[in-house]
Structure 1
């Protein structure tokens, strides 16, 4: 099956394969980790697959961070917020209070996509630039980890 997927991908120009990995990695829940796996599975060089997955995820996450920040600025201008947050939001807020931006950025992707966790942190009032930097570090780490695991797994499966 892996060989047939790779054969199909080989019929597509390289630049289009790369663009496909960037686009698919921008999707929440796919992220850099599954994007890297997909890139490796279709036969891209692991470094290219991981890099394209990271780029797609980072672009998407940055759009969410700065978009949420702009919306929050407008929504909270001269207003007081009422209401009970959802269970997931409360859990993320407790995690945010306990571990801060670095902890939520590095561990939050085990619960929710980077786009959602980064938006929530900005919504909690975290500094957008700090969130962006820590999310980029997390995206790189998760993308490299899963890309390497996928490369090792594909190499074992093809032997």
Structure 2
């Protein structure tokens, strides 16, 4: 497999919800440079997260023009309690593990978080998770070899 195809596979894997956590290790395991794998994975996940945020905002605007208010927009239950307790940083940092980054961004927006805050914390979370996963993969491969 050529490096370009392998990097493309990492890009696609990092763009798929819930699979985003598992895209980095195979790329590094197949011999790609950890830095480039991390950059490709971060770029893919960030682009799809930003597209999700913009798409959600457009969908909400369209819905409000057609129907008025959005049912259940105030949020109740566990999601609202978690949001009230941990805010956007908590949702963004847990996003890849518990709900997927894209769902966490949509949840934060639907619970009233400012778009700029959601974008910033989503990018911070993506960067932290990418660095942690690259480091863990390199360390794990170092132990195995």
TM-score normalised by L of structure 2: 0.87
After the TM superposition, which segments of 4 or more aligned residues of structure 1 sit over 3 Å from their partners? 80-86
Task: Return the match for 2:109 from 122, 135, 140.
Answer: 122
Structure 1 residues 82, 63: CA separation in 2 closer, same or farther (over 3 Å shift)? closer
Q: How does 1:5-44 map to 2 (within 5 A)?
A: 12-31=1-20, 33-44=21-32
Matches of 2:73 and 2:86, distance apart in 1: 22
Tell me if 1:153 matches 2:105: no
The total of aligned residue pairs comes to: 144
1:47-97: CA deviation from partner (whole Å, max 9, x where unpaired): 1111111111111111111101111122234623446999xx832222111
Unpaired segments of 5 or more residues in structure 1? 1-11
Aligned to 2:48: 60
Matches of 2:109 and 2:73, distance apart in 1: 18
Tell me if 1:109 matches 2:93: no
The answer to whether the 8 Å contact 2:93/2:125 transfers is yes
Unpaired segments of 5 or more residues in structure 2? none
TM-score normalised by L of structure 1: 0.80
Task: Return the match for 2:130 from 143, 151, 156.
Answer: 143
CA RMSD of aligned residues (A): 2.2
Task: Give 3-state SS (helix, strand or coil) of 1:28's partner.
Answer: coil
Task: Return the match for 1:72 from 51, 55, 60.
Answer: 60
The Cα of 1:142 is off from its aligned counterpart by 0.8
Structure 1 residues 82, 101: CA separation in 2 closer, same or farther (over 3 Å shift)? same
The answer to whether the 8 Å contact 1:69/1:123 transfers is no
The answer to whether the 8 Å contact 1:39/1:50 transfers is no
Matches of 1:85 and 1:128, distance apart in 2: 16
